[in-house]
Structure 1
């Protein structure tokens, strides 16, 4: 699915894949995030750690993350929500209605 906007010069389209990439970079900037979570789907295939749902001119994003040990999970998740929302809205002009964050695990330091 793509977000489509009409301009004076023609059509402008932004695909979900581009929004996923933007969200990925935004998440990487947040302190306390170790990585994105590798998930399994019902059919035992890898499922995407970032899901994007475009509904008209609004987008909803869901991200599955691994938090570093010693970091407060709720604080990290809130920072992910705000950073993803701000960066996607700034870079695309598309309104972000929700950023759902699922803390799927904790990464412990390896000794």
Structure 2
């Protein structure tokens, strides 16, 4: 099994030292990048993330699993899409946005970004009541 530990960024080593990026940072970046894509309602976390959120701790890495082995980064993303959006298109845009954001912010390239759609969110009652006719 691959070890999940901080990755040293080779291009950023200088006389002052090195830059390391932990998997948790990659999870947060990927989570934010996924959430900003149109058609994503929310990321689907596990039970522990749900309990922590109810206790007032916002988890920015909810619904994201990162496996880092050297500079090989594999990301698993669990999302709930909005009803009416093309699931394959939303998934593709999430993949593209995560890869681009990760490269821009960390200089890491994702080997794979796997999207798991765990549900579809229909229009809520509040949205239906406030929608213009």
Instruction: Report if TM-score (shorter chain) is over 0.5.
Output: yes
Structure 1 or 2: larger strand share? 1
- The separation in 1 between residues aligned to 2:98 and 2:9, in whole angstroms, is 21
- SS in structure 2 of the partner of residue 103 of structure 1: strand
Contact 2:45 2:64 in 1 (8 A): no
TM-score (norm 1): 0.88
Deviation at 1:49, TM superposition (A): 1.3
Over alpha carbons, which structure has the higher Rg? 2
- The separation in 2 between residues aligned to 1:97 and 1:5, in whole angstroms, is 16
Structure 1 residue runs of 4 or more that deviate by more than 3 Å after TM superposition: 45-48
Residue 91 (str. 1) matches residue 97 (str. 2)? no
- RMSD of aligned residue pairs (Cα, Å): 1.5
Matching residue within 5, 13, 17 for 2:9: 5
Mapping of residues 1-111 of structure 1, within 5 Å:
1-6=5-10, 7-9=13-15, 10-40=17-47, 45-46=48-49, 48-111=62-125
Structure 1 or 2: larger helix share? 2
TM-score (norm 2): 0.75
Provide the aligned length of Structure 1 versus Structure 2: 107
Gapped regions of structure 1 (runs ≥ 5): none
- The separation in 1 between residues aligned to 2:45 and 2:37, in whole angstroms, is 18
